[in-house]
Every structure is written in C-alpha cells, then in structure tokens.
Amino acid sequence: MLSGLERKNGWSPAEYAGEATPDGMQRLFNAARWDVDGVHDDIRA
C-alpha cells in the first residue's frame, strides 16, 4: 500500500509484487495479525 501506484485495490499491489492473483494480498490485509509498533519501526528505518 506504500507503493507509488496511483490506484490501490486487491489486484494492483498483487501485480506489483509479481503475484498472479490478489488472493495472497487479500489474505494478508484481511487476516494477518499486525504488530503495529514493529511495522512502524520498519517503515521509519
């Protein structure tokens, strides 16, 4: 979601990452448990 893509939906980040379908990205966005502080630290680094 932080890519420079103009439009962001399930397909565009999946295609950008080289995936054939958006299934994995959708699973990541919908079901993954996020460590908010860890993501914040990674992005700042």
pLDDT digits (tens, 9 = 90+) for 3-21: 676 766 778 878 888 999 9
Residue 22 maps to a domain: yes
In the predicted structure, residue 28 carries a pLDDT above the cut 60: yes
Residue 4 maps to a domain: no
Residue 13 CB neighbours (<10 A): 20
User: Which single residue is written with the structure tokens 């919908």?
Assistant: 30
Residue range 25-44: average pLDDT?
89
Instruction: Name the residue range of residue 29's domain.
Output: 11-44
Average pLDDT value for the chain: 84
pLDDT for 21 equals: 93
Read off the pLDDT band of 44 (50, 70, 90): very high
Residue 32 maps to a domain: yes
Better-predicted residue by pLDDT, 44 or 16: 44
User: Which single residue is written with the structure tokens 């379908």?
Assistant: 21
Q: How far apart are CA 5 and CA 27, in angstroms?
A: 20
Residue 2 maps to a domain: no
Number of domains in the chain: 1
Residue 31 maps to a domain: yes
